[in-house]
Amino acid sequence: MSNKFVLINEKIIPATEASVYINDLSIQRGYGIFDFFKLVDGRPIFLDDHLARFYNSAAQMRLPINHSPEELKELLFSLIAKNELPDSGVRMTLTGGYSADGFSIAEPNLIITQQKLTINKVAPLNGTRLVTYSHQRQFPEVKTIDYLMAIWLRNYIVENHADDVLYQHEGNIRECPRANVFIFTHENKLLTPAKNILKGIIRKQVLKLAKASFTVEETNITLEDLYNAKEVFITSSTKNILPVTHVDGRVVADGKPGENTRVLQEKLNQAIYQLCV
């Protein structure tokens, strides 16, 4: 890990020494939640949204957080000050804790890590390729640590000459493992799946920013809708907006990032830039 220090349960320690005991419920039973936000020029991007989602994920999975959002912010900033990584990602993980019987939730462990982010400058311009796969995440609206399927699908992605996978369930599209998906119809209507997904923070921003220029709808989107879209893009905190040029080996429109997507990329970049000045 590129981070120098990490924070575990209020203590800042060198990353090389950061460990948890093996009876933690994350190791025993894959039980935990997390959130992740970006620092740009040392400024946290949409931090309050990420904190709100973190607290919601914890509550949904019945993991108590012994800190108010203000206290948690203080912990975050103390680590950020120590690490001196102005362009980085910060991850807050909350595990099921040291469970005596290996099954019951205990006092959660709070782990905060920070890693340098290398921005991919090519993908936002050239676009990315998706392949779909039938899967519905359990606890879709909670940011759990469950990425079993996502990691297992790495081979499937490569075999299908794609860069990322898009889950679909019974012919309705859902989300990528770490990104939300949007389509523009040929009527320049912006659509994104309404439910059974993790609602991304950049997704929320895009919905807000797009409303000034486009008709926007959170709704059910079929594979057919996706294949026939005028433009497709995905959003995430690390990726911002990535145009999608190929889905399941088919070319989206003319295979180039679309004009509407460009407009939204520009709007989002400005919104993020506003947070950093």
Contacting a second copy within 154-213 (CB under 8 A)? 154-155
Contacting a second copy within 33-62 (CB under 8 A)? 61-62
Contact status: 18 vs a second copy (CB under 8 A): yes
Minimum gap (Å) between residue 148 Cβ and a second copy: 6
Contact status: 103 vs a second copy (CB under 8 A): yes
Contact status: 138 vs a second copy (CB under 8 A): yes
Cβ atoms 98, 23 nearer than 8 A: yes
Element (H, E) at 142: none
Q: Which long-range contacts (CB under 8 A, 24 or more apart) does 49-52 make?
A: 49/201, 49/204, 50/201, 50/237
Alpha helices in 61-170 (DSSP H): 69-83, 123-126, 148-152, 154-159
Contact status: 113 vs a second copy (CB under 8 A): yes
- Residue 84 CB: number of other CB atoms within 10 A? 11
Minimum gap (Å) between residue 197 Cβ and a second copy: 16
Can you read off the two tokens belonging to residue 62?
Answer: 């019945």
Cβ proximity to a second copy: between 168 and 205 the closer is: 168
Please give the DSSP secondary-structure letter assigned to residue 174. -
Distance from chain centroid for Cα 34: 10
Cβ proximity to a second copy: between 22 and 277 the closer is: 22
Instruction: Determine the straight-line distance between the first and last CA of the chain, rounded to whole angstroms.
Output: 29
Cβ proximity to a second copy: between 93 and 192 the closer is: 93
Instruction: List residues near a second copy by CB under 8 A.
Output: 1, 6, 8, 18-32, 61-62, 91, 93, 95-96, 100, 102-105, 111, 113, 115, 135, 138-139, 144-152, 154-155
